[in-house]
Copies of this chain bind each other. A is one copy, B any other.
Amino acid sequence: MALAGGVGAGKFLRGLVRVVPPEALTVIVNTGDDIVLHGLHVSPDLDSVTYWLGGVGGRARETFRATDELRAFGAEGSWFGLGDMDLATHLFRTRLLAEGRTLSGATSTLAARFGVTAHLLPMSDDPVATHVEVSDDAGAAFDLHFQEYWVRRGGRDEVKAVRFDGIELARPAPGVVEAIEGADAVLLCPSNPIVSIDPILAVPRIGEAVAARRGRAAGVSPIVGGSPLRGMADKLLPVAGVEVSAAGVASYYAGRGLIGGWVIDGVDQGQAGRVRAMGIRVTVTDTIMVDDDAAERLARTALDTALGDQP
């Protein structure tokens, strides 16, 4: 099974379903980024994973005609660009939720519509919202929903702290803990540690369940050559006191007893020794997923790294 954020996870998982039968794979996805826009429940990470596994990742032919109109109206929330095809997903999910389905149920229905046979689970059916505490140019502190920080304000504010609103009351979605406990291997996708993987781990019982499986758990570094392949990990890792490097992230996970293995890119092979010194198996490989073949090789390596200690 795998813990996943958005696009980086989606690309990695396209490789993973070539290595293991998708029906045997459970993916637990971050929902801390979820946001209600125009009355619609938007789940960016669930959708990224669904779209990538469904073969429509990146939505190359997406258009933004509805969003353009909403912007012309001055509609609240229209700073977030929802594609026209993407809107259908949000409308469909929001209807299912309004009819009383859980987010898990809606996720599974949507995944089936995109032909995804891997089991996609939100980390929780309960609402969790990632917020960042920032200070503006004048030093005044204020609070932003993660999407406001990242999408609306382009990540320009200095982040003082990250928190997951609602996390104490959130329960793991049905099947999440069981999937971790019963998995042959637990993989941490190359997603943002602070705002993609940490919210999942912070749901009561999930972090503990992963730690209990650390001997079969491995992660793929989202940091290559000292910077993230995408996203804003370089801005957020320092907030948690984490060095922006492959070894820094390994240390961040290993320090909490979450992983037994770590996959880093060839450009970072100089850091392999530091990671091994943490008592972690390290594999050095090409982690840049230029295509599904590369993703498949990376997924196989990650799986081997997770299972390295197993007989």
A contacts, CB < 8 Å to B: 38-40, 63, 65-70, 72-76, 84-85, 87-89, 91-92, 94-95, 98, 110, 113
Q: Kindly provide the distance from the CB of A132 to the nearest chain B CB, expressed in whole angstroms.
A: 25
State how many copies of this chain the complex holds.
2
Find the B residue at minimum CB distance from A75.
B92
Contact B113 A88 (CB under 8 A): no
With contact pairs A63-B84, A84-B63 given, residues A95 and B69 touching in the complex (Cβ less than 8 Å): no
Q: How far is the CA of A72 from the CA of B91 in the complex (A)?
A: 13
Contact A39 B95 (CB under 8 A): yes
With contact pairs A39-B95, A91-B38, A95-B76 given, residues A85 and B69 touching in the complex (Cβ less than 8 Å): yes
* Max chain B C-beta neighbours (<10 A), residue from A40, A66, A110, A113: A66
Closest 9 CB pairs of A and B: A69-B88, A65-B84, A38-B91, A84-B84, A66-B88, A66-B87, A70-B88, A73-B113, A66-B84
Residues of B near A73 (CB, < 8 A) are 88, 92, 110, 113
Q: Name A75's contact: one of B38, B75, B95 (CB within 8 Å).
A: B95
Residues of B near A76 (CB, < 8 A) are 95
Find the B residue at minimum CB distance from A72.
B113
Contact A92 B63 (CB under 8 A): no
Contact A91 B113 (CB under 8 A): no
Q: How far is the CA of A89 from the CA of B66 in the complex (A)?
A: 8
